[in-house]
Homo-oligomer: A and B are copies of this chain.
C-alpha cells in the first residue's frame, strides 16, 4: 500500500515549512520524510512549484470565514485580518503564499474569500495587494517575532492600521 499522495506531500511540506522554513522545503527533504527517492515525487506531482501550490491550498483550506453581515467594510476587514493571521500562523507562510499567488500555482481561495464580500474587483485587488505587500515587507519582523529577537523592520505600521486607511 502506498501512503504517498499529492495530499500527503503537501502535509509533509507544511510540516517541514513550520519546522525549518521555506529554504529547507526541498524535493529531496520531502522525499526523505517519506523514505523514498526524490524522483518518486515526480510521479505524484508535476514539479516543485505545484507542490508549493498544494501547500498553500492546504494552508487556507481549514480556515472558515464568517458569513457576510451586509456591512462589506466590516466583512472585508474581518476576513483580511483572518487571512493575515493565517499567513503569520506558520513560519515563512507569507513568503510562500506571495510566491504561489505570484506564479498562480495555487491559493485561489484566498482571493475568493475577499471577493465574496467585496463591492468590486478594484477593492479586492487593493486588499490582496495590501495583504501580500504588508506581509512581505514585514518578513524580517515576523521572523524575529517567531523567534523572539528584536529587529528594525522595513514597515512600522501594523496590518490593521494600513487596512483602516483603505476600508
Contact = CB atoms under 8 A, between A and B. Distances in A.
A166 interface: yes
B134 A165 contact: no
Nearest to A151: B104
Contact of A123 (B122, B137, B139, B165): B165
A111 B128 CA distance: 20
Interface in A97-155: 98, 101-104, 111, 121-123, 125-126, 128-134, 136-137, 139-140, 152, 154-155
B125 A156 contact: yes
Contacts of A121: 156-157
A107 B27 CA distance: 32
Contacts of A69: none
B166 A122 contact: no
Contacts of A134: 125, 129, 133
A161 interface: yes
A152 B108 CA distance: 13
A65 interface: no
A137 B126 contact: no
Given A136-B132, A137-B129, A154 B101 contact: yes
A162 interface: yes
Contacts of A131: 133
